[in-house]
Amino acid sequence: MGRFSWSRLVDVTGFNKGDYIMADNQQMWKDLGMNLEMHDMLCEVLPGAIGDVFMSQENRPAAMDYFDMVLADVHGLRPAELVEFRKNGGKVFGTFCAYVPDEVIFAAGGIATGLCAGSQFWVPGGERYLPANTCPLIKAMLGARFDKTCPFYRLADVYIGETTCDGKKKAYEILGTDVPLHVMDLPQMKREKDYLKWADEIKDLIAVVEKTTGNKVTEENLAENIKKINVKRAALERLYKLRRNECVPISGTDTLLISQIAYYDDPERFATMVNKLCDELEQRVADGVSIAEGKKRILITGTPMAIPNWKLHNLVETSGGVVVCEETCTGTRYFENQVDESGKTMDEMIQNIANRYMGINCACFTPNTARADDVIRLAKDSKADGVIDVNLMFCQTYDIEGRSLEERLKAEGIPFLGLETDYTDNDAQQLKTRIGAFIEMLG
Ligand code: SF4
Ligand code: SF4
C-alpha cells in the first residue's frame, strides 16, 4: 500500500490515534484480548484482496485515498480512536442493522459503530454455534465475536440488536451470553400503530444509552445529532446522484467501500471526506471523465454487503458492467430520507426519527411492496440497463421476495437476474459466467 503518505493523511483527516501508531496495533489488539495468532491469518489475506479488488481499477478518483487508508488499516485506525474514547470514559455501541438510529447514541455522547460481518474467515467460527444452513452474515457475526479476531467486536461496550429476521434474533440470544446486549423489537408491518411502537422502542434505547453513558439525551443534543446524521446522509445522497450521470465518475466497487465505511467512521469526518470526493466527481462529470465507457449500467439490490464483501461488485465490474446504484442496506436504504428536523419536543423528535427509519424497506416487513417501488424508481433514475438481485444463501425473506420483485421489474420492462451466493469464492466462476451472459444479453 505504498501510495499513501500515512502521517499526512492521518494529520489532514484528523484521526486521533492517541498512544497508538501503526506499529503498535499489535499491542492494542493484545490489550483488547484478541486472538493474535488467528488475527494474523486474517490480516495476511487483506492486502491481497485490496490490491485485487481496488488497486487494480483504473482512473480512480484521488479522493479515494482517504477511504483506501481507512480500509488498509481497518483494524487499526478507527479502533485506536475508539480505544482513546473509552479510556476517557466514552461508551461504544455496536450495531448490526440499518434500523438502529445512531442519532440517539451520539446524542448521549456515545459512539455507534457497525459490527460488520462480511468475511468468510468468520463463518466456521459461527458454525460452532449455529446450524450450517444459516445466512453467512449471521454466522460471521458470531465467529467474529467468539473467535476474538475483530477489534470492533471487542471494543463495543453494548451491542444493539433488533428483531429483524429469525436467524439474527436467535443469534442475539447466543451473543448475549458473552456481551451486554439490548434488542430493539422492530415491528414487521407498517401500520400507524407500528410507527408508534418503533418510537416507543427508541425511547427504550434512549434509556439504555443514558444508563450506559451516564449522560442524558436532551432536546438540544438530540436536535444537534439529528442534524449531524442528516448531513452524513446528504453526503451519501450527493455521491449516489453523481453516479446517475452518463459519465460514470466512480466505480460501484469504490462506492460500496464508502457505504461500508459509513457504518463505523466518525460521522462528521466521513461526511466531509465524502463531500470532498463529490467535489472531485463533479469536476470529472463536467470534464466528461467516465470510468465506464461502453459498460452496461447495473443496479444491485438484495441483502447487505458488509465489509469486506466486494464479491458481486468485483464480478460485475470485471465482466463488462458498472454498478450505478445499490438498493441495499449498504446502499440507498442506509441514507435515503432524512429525519424531519422540525421537531421541537422530545416526543416529536423521537417520532420523526422513528418515521424515517420505518421508511426503510427491508424484506423482514410484510407486505414490502415499497421495496419493488424503490428498485424501479432507482433503476429509472440511475438509467440502469438491468437489475441484479443478489441474496445471501439461506436468507429466506429476501429469497422469497425475489419472485415478486422479478415480476414487478418484468412488468416495467427492466431486465432482471436473480443470484444467490455466500462469502466463499467457490461459485465465483459460475457467477461470472451468469453475470457475463446477462450483461451480454443487455446488448
Ligand atoms: S437487510 Fe434488513 S435486517 Fe439486514 S441490515 Fe438491512 S434492514 Fe437490517
Ligand atoms: S441477509 Fe437475510 S438472513 Fe442474513 S441477516 Fe440479513 S435478513 Fe437475516
Q: Whose CA is nearest to atom 8 of ligand 2?
A: 165
> 296-336+361-441: which CATH topology?
Rossmann fold (3.40.50)
Q: Whose CA is nearest to atom 2 of ligand 1?
A: 362
- The tens place of each residue's pLDDT in the chain, 443 residues long, gives 334 445 555 665 666 554 444 557 999 999 999 999 999 999 988 888 899 999 999 999 999 999 999 999 999 999 999 999 999 999 999 999 999 999 999 999 999 999 989 999 999 999 999 999 999 999 999 999 999 999 999 999 999 999 999 999 999 999 999 999 999 999 999 999 999 999 999 999 999 999 999 999 999 999 999 999 999 999 999 999 999 999 999 999 999 999 999 999 999 999 999 999 999 999 999 999 999 999 999 999 999 999 999 999 999 999 999 999 999 999 999 999 999 999 999 999 999 999 999 999 999 999 999 999 999 999 999 999 999 999 999 999 999 999 999 999 999 999 999 999 999 999 999 999 999 999 999 98
So where are the chain's domains? 6-293, 296-336+361-441
Ligand 2 pocket: which of 365, 366, 395 to mutate (most atoms within 8 A of CB): 395
Q: Can you give the length of the chain in residues?
A: 443
CA 328 to ligand 1 center in whole angstroms: 8
For residue 398, the ligand 1 atom closest to its alpha carbon is 1
3-state SS record for 169-217: HHHHHHHCCCCCEEEECCCCCCCHHHHHHHHHHHHHHHHHHHHHHCCCC
Q: Whose CA is nearest to atom 6 of ligand 2?
A: 303
Whether 296-336+361-441 and 6-293 are alike in CATH topology: the answer is: yes
Q: At what angle do helices 267-286 and 252-262 cross, to 10 degrees?
A: 160
The CATH architecture annotation of domain 6-293 reads 3-Layer(aba) Sandwich (3.40)
CA distance 138 to 186: 18
CA distance 354 to 345: 14
